[in-house]
Amino acid sequence: MKRAILFSVFATLLTAAFFATRSEAQPNSVKEVVPGVWFREGDILKEGHCNNTIIEMKDYLIVIDANFPSGARAALADAQKVSKKPVKYVFDTHHHGDHAYGNAVWTKQGAITLAYAGVAEELKRYEPKRWQDTAKQRKDVGELNLSTAEPPKETFTKSPHVISDTTRRVEFHFFGWAHTHGDGFAYLPKEQVLCTGDAATNGPYNFVADGNVGNWPKVMENAQKLKVKYVLPGHGPNGGPEILEGQKQFMIELHKAAQAAVKAGTNPEDAKLPDSVKNWIGPQLKSQLKSAAEEIKQKKPAGDLPH
């Protein structure tokens, strides 16, 4: 009995500590990171939204990530508050619903949805099943009355793909398979701003089932070769290059812990990760460890295994 009470006190403290470390989170806030570039922090806990970045060009705006339909509308409203220019391009960093299911909302506004070719391939791999499951659970997706996710209207295979005008250059990069086969990054070389999608998150938001845990650190290393001052992640608050390094270290530790468990024949889900990567440790840890262990046992990326 006493132990149960103690545990419950401990659990409450843990929860408090968890939210305390997230106190810098500011869902639905919009801040100008450098002149003409705004970071909108999505409400992941209540709405499941991703973050968005709004980039002002000479005559139009580029928005990073389509978000879910309700997130798309919120991001569009905020874009219209910071600039009178129309949204011309929306870049899907990857195929997940919280980044791409709002595509139809943006194209209806006249925007062109854009992605690395791997995003369209992932949609072919996983849809229409995920869309149809999500449409039953999310009102904003169901209300679109579509049978499947709208793929990006334009795709590119050569990295980087560049959009530029007299005011700014925006590069769209593919660095390899981390979170999904299609992970795209948006990079502003002059301003040293990098939008990472979910390949790098600031907090415990790494869904690894479609991913490649073993290759993830290499993708971060490729991103780290860019000159970066501002990192705008797919989820969690914005920050600097420490997000890339922390994300890399978390994947290295996850892989290491899973490998040790596989070698010792113990349950990988019981493995512990060091405190140095605690910013990325959360409720998904057990499933992340399981995916990493399967990847090691079956010698295939988690995303290529049945899931």
Amino acid at 222: N
Q: What's the min distance (Å) between Cβ of 211 and Zn ion?
A: 9
Residue 296, number of CB atoms within 10 A of its CB:
19
Q: What's the min distance (Å) between Cβ of 199 and Zn ion?
A: 9
CA 119 distance to own-chain centroid? 13
| Alpha helix (H) residue ranges in the chain | 2-21, 44-47, 69-82, 97-100, 103-108, 117-126, 129-137, 139-142, 216-224, 242-264, 285-298
**Cβ-count burial 133-150 (b if 16+ within 10 Å, e if not):** ebbeebebbeebebeebb
Q: What's the min distance (Å) between Cβ of 48 and Zn ion?
A: 8
Q: Residue count at the site for Zn ion (CB under 5 A)? A: 5
Beta strand pairing call for 230-233 and 193-197: parallel
- Give the span between the Cα atoms of 243 and 287, in whole angstroms: 22
* 96 vs 290, beta carbon nearer Zn ion: 96
Choices 22-30, 153-161, 182-190, 198-206 (CB under 5 A): range interacting with Zn ion: 198-206
Told to check if 64 binds Zn ion by CB under 5 A, we report no
SS3 state of residue 298: helix
Q: What is the largest CA-CA distance in the chain?
A: 70
Residues between 226 and 245 that touch Zn ion (CB under 5 A): 234
* 51 vs 259, beta carbon nearer Zn ion: 51
Q: What's the min distance (Å) between Cβ of 100 and Zn ion?
A: 9
Q: What's the min distance (Å) between Cβ of 275 and Zn ion?
A: 25
Residues between 177 and 196 that touch Zn ion (CB under 5 A): none
Told to check if 49 binds Zn ion by CB under 5 A, we report no
* 71 vs 234, beta carbon nearer Zn ion: 234
Kindly tell me which residue out of 40, 49, 95, 96 binds Zn ion, with binding defined by CB under 5 A: 96
* 183 vs 191, beta carbon nearer Zn ion: 183
Contact 242, 223 (CB under 8 A): no
The neighbouring-strand residues paired with 30 are 40
Report helix angle 242-264 to 216-224, nearest 10: 160
Told to check if 50 binds Zn ion by CB under 5 A, we report yes
Q: What's the min distance (Å) between Cβ of 133 and Zn ion?
A: 16
Choices 42-50, 63-71, 247-255, 294-302 (CB under 5 A): range interacting with Zn ion: 42-50
**Within 13 Å and on the Cβ side, how many CA atoms surround 307?**
19
Q: What's the min distance (Å) between Cβ of 178 and Zn ion?
A: 10
Told to check if 127 binds Zn ion by CB under 5 A, we report no
Residue 242, number of CB atoms within 10 A of its CB:
11
Told to check if 198 binds Zn ion by CB under 5 A, we report yes
Q: What's the min distance (Å) between Cβ of 99 and Zn ion?
A: 5
Kindly tell me which residue out of 56, 65, 78, 98 binds Zn ion, with binding defined by CB under 5 A: 98
Residue 87, number of CB atoms within 10 A of its CB:
21
Contact residues for Zn ion (CB under 5 A)? 50, 96, 98, 198, 234
